[in-house]
Chains A and B, each alone.
Chain A
Amino acid sequence: MLLQANTTALFSVRDLQLIAPELILTLSACVVLVLEVILPRRERKWTAYFSLAGIALAAVSLFLLWQTNRDNLPLDAFYGMVRIDGFGLVFKTIFLLAAALTVAISLRYLDVEGEQRGEYYALILFATVGMMFLACGYDLISLYISLELMALTFYVLVGFTKRDRRSNEAGMKYFLLGAFSSGVLLYGMSLLFGIAGSTNLGDISQSVTSILSGAPLEGALAGGLPLRPMLLLAMIALAAGLFFKIAAVPFHMWAPDAYEGAPTSVTAFLSTGSKAASFALFARIFLEALGGMRADWAPLLGLVAAITIMVGNWAAVTQVNAKRLLAYSSISNAGYLLLGVIAANEYGYIGLVVYLFVYTLMNIGAFGVIISLRRRGLVGDNVDDLTGLGQKAPGMALMMTIFMLSLGGLPLTGGFIGKWFLFGGLLQRAADPADGKDWYLWLAIWAILNTVVSFFYYVRFIRVMYLGDGVADARPLSLSPALRAALVVAVVGVIVIGVYPQPFIKLAQTLVSSLSDAASGAFALR
């Protein structure tokens, strides 16, 4: 590789074109930092609008990137460090959407908190850049660096309201545990590098297959120790690190504290963008690099998913604080999303991306409604603070109802379509003639029964909004136009995907087909 680098230019213009959306976001973030200094205090809000414009520009360039290259994907850039494929593109779309919605709901929140600063938006943009590189990284090095870029910015964001002790505590906890988990992940990566002799995911995948097949090894690996136990250790270390990032049991403890303490807008971003990015990493490593050892990791992931779904749902039942409740709901949703990885067939992949997309919309929407309750002197974080919202602000209450029913997975909402594919994938895997096993079926039954528990606490929001006769706080909500727009976008998205999902599924199917080839057991969806 070094030889190559010496003979040609370090990188070509084409490589830069392929990461144009990320470059645009990085530039916008830098400009936002400068604007923050230049603009007078009262005009600081322009940094937010500028960030939105940057995200929009990045989205346009992402679209153009797809339009021009749609027939010759995947494309490699920077000597295989970055791979542009459909899978990466669909995740990048999710990140941009999450970032845009987060900026829109942050405006009012930061006003109320008195923390309206440009750095905040710059950090959001930097985190988004990290996520986007996570989705297209094809090398352990680039993946780890982008993961750290995302994680570091989130440590700062979680502790952003520095006058709030809860926020400080949450930031500290998240940092300590996050750093630890990154270490575990890195350990797994180094083992993997040691086994495969390469950091490129494609090379690793080939080595893994040959190790598992028992063929004699060549080159540096020849005549060494038996590698299979090492491979298992690497897989477990990687899984542990990733379980932490997606907040799966037993590495979920940080999530409720971090979610509760963080500024609400950051919680929204953390629970959607960061989770989606971690799942992108999860899928990349487990489906592409370790795709050959599916038989080894599927039972582990299945067990973790089953426990995660149970713990998340049952723990959420008793929560009083809405943010904490949604934190547990987000834990359980990590379990549902894992089902897509476990199924590892086309239905599962479609479920993974469609559910993440819808999850971004509905979760940020729900946090947006919670933000709208907040004003000086009222935290508005408790479920009971929504009491009587149906009387006070019918539109707001209706949107919250739709978000909650969608989180539970009621038909006619996007959440149903996502769960439909996740469960469908699992059933298909159970009936797979090659490696179908009964436990996939039982996992599906277990997971779907737990959705009923989830309805118990989602419906609690609906109950306090409509079924009580009192009103918690009679003063009308003060909504900013951006918050309102974000909520409307979210609710329209959830409904449209729920009622007419055809174009979304079609697109998702085309885009995730790159994964289907990589992982074993590709199933033709006719």
Chain B
Amino acid sequence: MKIPYLLSIITWLPLVGALIILFVFKKENARAIKRFATAWFGLVFLVSLALVGYDRAAGGMQFIEDLQWIPIIGARYQMGVDGVAVLLIVLTTLLGIIAALSSWEYIGKREQEYYVLLLLLQAAVVGVFASMDLFLFYLFFEVSLVPMYFLIGIWGGERRLYAAIKFFLYTLVGSVIMLLGVLKMYFLTQDATLTAAITPAVMDNIAGAGTQARVLLDNARAAAGAGGTFNIMFLQALGSALPMGTMQVLLFFAFAIGFAIKVPMWPFHTWLPDAHVEAPTAGSVILAGILLKLGTYGFFRFNLPMFPEAAKDLSYFHIFGATFGVRHVMVTLAIIGIIYGALAAMYFVVIKDGDVKKLVAYSSVSSMGIVMLGLFALNPNGLNGAVLHMINHGIYSAALFLLVGIIYERRHTRKVSEFGGLSHVMPGYATVFLAMTMTAIGLPLLCVFISEFLAMRGAFEAQPWWAAWAALGIILNAGYMLWLYQRMFFGHIDNPKNENLPDMNGREWAYMLPLVALSLWIGIYPTPFIEYIQRPVNAVVRQVRPDYPFQPGTPQTPTTARVER
């Protein structure tokens, strides 16, 4: 069954829900509001499941929508997703339900505004993943800051005002610089010589086998001649024709800074721990699960395919006699992020008043480093691993933040030193926490193992030393997670406040179990997930490295459906 305008429906449905809550419900009726909001998130999730029908064998962009919007600047309302975006959107809608469900007790004031903002945030984030037009993408990308600012600022912890404005301004710095890049790319599409230099092979590779995507891409090419276009597929195609040089490197970094702050890559990560510690649980879940992926998704969607020469460059910079390239910069930052994040997280287990949430936040920095390393391995294994790790990180870091939230609701503290021997009073909680700890450290049969393995293998293929450094980070990772688990759950209950803690209730089980199940599913049988991302990933690899030796048997993008012009 084909639902017309499916992506628009998924994007705007949360907005409709927000308006209903705003105008139909009374402010005092918090009970009804949270039930309705959760049900609405459920509805959006169910609708988004229709995306699972993405044709995995064809690859490329699908579910395409194309409407006139602002012709004078070439912006169109274009939506479309590839397999990567499909998974991320479904993850977003799933985490939406979970975030709403986890907020029932936690949020004790101004519920109406809270759920409205949560829905708005989801609309913005899904919009980012679904946009096929760079202008539209940028709109969603930047607007998504506003609801998150309020979520942290109103329902956050002690230093919420500081954390909220820091989050807002930090990410804004990146996106305004990206705005200049967006403008410049648009002006470049007006350049007839560049457009003419795009080869048919590049066009075939980007469009994939879907006829719809092909038509869209050809239209965009025609539009580029008549005043410029923001079509993302065409911008990618244009990237292959862009000559390597200062211009391309500047553009690469204009986009890269915007996304790197969002990821966050070391050294742009300092907003993250503050934002996480102060945000309410659901805010952290969305932040770690989804918002960080906007950054890595941006690298996957824009930086790699749009600036292939810069992305694989190994010799652009000559400083102090040393020669290194853009790729070296990115990989180095990724590796520093992996190790730094892990060490920082370990620090919060060791010190006296270490905060569990801060620990999880820093472990996110480490994890996102692995994603970045996988991306800049620039081979199918690395990219597959990176993309899958985005999903997995969304699952396990969301789960860890939820678990922290559960204990915080009971004890109103998150200090590691306050706990000990919790497994005696909260066995169910201890079990779920164990499952998630094991996921985080990459135990086989759990999801992170697959993605970390793939990313590391990709990195190893690219340069064994990169993988070696990353492995160090992963070992540290295992160290602090196990240490944390030991300190919180084993031993005797030496704090009397912990003696009568209730175990998880039905609602809490309801939102934890899907995450555990997903972790197991991806860990045991990742093939369906890999199938979604494989073709888009191969297309990106081929775009960046047209001469990459794909092994026989690797699914190639079939070109049979190419439209004759």
Contacts and interface: CB of A to CB of B under 8 A. Distances in A.
Interface of A: 405, 410-412, 420, 423-424, 427-428, 431, 444-445, 448-449, 451-452, 455-456, 459, 463, 466-467, 500-502, 505-506, 509, 525-526
B518 interface: no
A410 B226 CA distance: 28
Contact of A509 (B72, B183, B187): B72
A467 B164 contact: yes
Minimum-distance CB pairs A-B, first 3: A526-B227, A411-B139, A467-B153
B142 interface: yes
B228 A427 contact: no
A413 to B, nearest CB: 10
Given A411-B139, A502-B71, A456 B169 contact: yes
Contact of B180 (A412, A448, A466): A448
B258 to A, nearest CB: 12
Contact of B177 (A448, A466, A509): A448
Contacts of B142: 410-411
Contacts of B227: 525-526
Contacts of B143: 410-412
Contact of A463 (B71, B138, B161, B172): B161
B46 interface: no
Nearest to B173: A452
Nearest to A460: B165
Given A459-B165, A467-B160, A411 B138 contact: yes
A467 B161 contact: yes
Contacts of B184: 427
B548 to A, nearest CB: 33
Interface in B351-402: none
Interface in B113-146: 138-139, 142-143, 146
A505 to B, nearest CB: 5
A502 B77 CA distance: 13
A445 B146 contact: no
Nearest to A428: B187
B270 interface: no
A44 to B, nearest CB: 39
Contact of A423 (B149, B161, B164, B183): B183
B281 to A, nearest CB: 19
B75 to A, nearest CB: 9
Contacts of A502: 69-72
Contacts of B138: 411
7 contacts: A444-B180, A445-B177, A452-B172, A463-B164, A502-B70, A502-B71, A525-B227
Contacts of A431: 187
Contact of A405 (B73, B146, B160, B161): B146
A415 to B, nearest CB: 12
Nearest to A451: B176
Contacts of A506: 72
Contacts of B70: 500-502, 505
Contacts of A463: 153, 161, 164-165
Nearest to A453: B169
Nearest to A350: B72
B226 A526 contact: yes
Contacts of A445: 177, 180
Nearest to B109: A469
Nearest to B184: A427
Contacts of A526: 190, 226-228
Interface string B37-70: 0000000000000000000000000000000011
Q: For the complex, would chain B's binding face be called helix, strand, loop or mixed by DSSP majority?
A: helix
B180 to A, nearest CB: 6
B150 interface: yes
Contacts of A427: 180, 183-184, 187
Nearest to A526: B227
A451 B142 CA distance: 14
A420 B135 CA distance: 11
A410 to B, nearest CB: 6
B183 A455 contact: no
A500 B228 CA distance: 18
A41 B186 CA distance: 60
B520 interface: no
A451 B190 CA distance: 27
A419 to B, nearest CB: 8
A135 to B, nearest CB: 24
A376 B72 CA distance: 49
A455 B226 CA distance: 36
Contacts of B177: 445, 448-449
A428 B154 CA distance: 41
B179 interface: yes
Nearest to B140: A411
Given A412-B139, A463-B164, A502-B72, 9 more contacts: A423-B179, A424-B186, A427-B184, A449-B173, A456-B165, A467-B153, A502-B71, A505-B72, A526-B228
A340 B246 CA distance: 26
Contacts of A448: 176-177, 179-180
Q: Which of B70, B72, B190 has the most CB of A within 10 A?
A: B72
B347 interface: no
A317 to B, nearest CB: 11
A410 B139 CA distance: 8
Contacts of B228: 526
B282 to A, nearest CB: 17
B153 A466 contact: yes
Nearest to A430: B184
Contacts of A449: 173, 176-177
Contacts of B12: none
B107 to A, nearest CB: 14
B519 to A, nearest CB: 36
Contacts of A452: 169, 172-173, 176
Interface string B65-106: 000011111000000000000000000000000000000000
A198 B226 CA distance: 43
Nearest to B27: A394
B293 to A, nearest CB: 20
A325 to B, nearest CB: 16
B268 interface: no
A448 B258 CA distance: 13
Interface in B147-198: 149-150, 153-154, 160-161, 164-165, 168-169, 172-173, 176-177, 179-180, 183-184, 186-187, 190
B72 A459 contact: no
B37 to A, nearest CB: 18
Contacts of A444: 180
Nearest to B172: A452
